[in-house]
């Protein structure tokens, strides 16, 4: 599997997990109703399946690497959906997380 496909799967996983959590939040905390929360639960379940499509067989590695995508994606989601404006430290932290994700997932391991 190419790095490009792997990155696409990470982005799709982030959309499903962050979007699902946001839908649950909207349904419960913002009183939009159980339909929103239910859609969020479905999206969160779909996220779990997308993660299994990554090429690496190590669950811990996939979830650890995905953590970096989740951090950066959460900031982007907050900007788009809620008008959140990250400061330079938020952005720096997200870049550090993405660099860590790249090391965990794509470093040559000599296998």
Distance CA 72, CA 31 (A): 27
pLDDT tens per residue across all 111 residues of the chain: 588 999 999 999 999 999 999 999 999 999 999 999 999 999 999 999 999 999 887 899 999 999 999 999 999 999 999 899 999 999 999 999 999 999 999 999 876
Describe the chain by its helix, strand, coil percentages, rounded to 5: 80, 0, 20
pTM of the entire predicted model: 0.86
Matching residue, tokens 């950066």: 72
Q: How many CB atoms lie within 10 A of CB 29?
A: 9
């Amino acid at each position: 599997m190419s790095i490009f496909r792997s990155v696409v799967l990470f982005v799709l996983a982030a959309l499903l997990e962050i979007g699902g959590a946001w839908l649950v939040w909207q349904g419960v905390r913002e009183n939009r109703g159980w339909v929103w929360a239910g859609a969020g639960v479905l999206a969160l379940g779909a996220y779990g399946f997308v993660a299994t499509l990554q090429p690496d067989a190590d669950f811990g590695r996939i979830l650890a690497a995905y953590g970096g995508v989740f951090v950066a994606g959460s900031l982007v989601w907050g900007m788009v959906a809620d008008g959140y404006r990250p400061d330079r430290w938020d952005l720096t932290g997200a870049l550090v997380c993405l660099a860590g994700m790249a090391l965990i997932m794509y470093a040559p391991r000599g296998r």
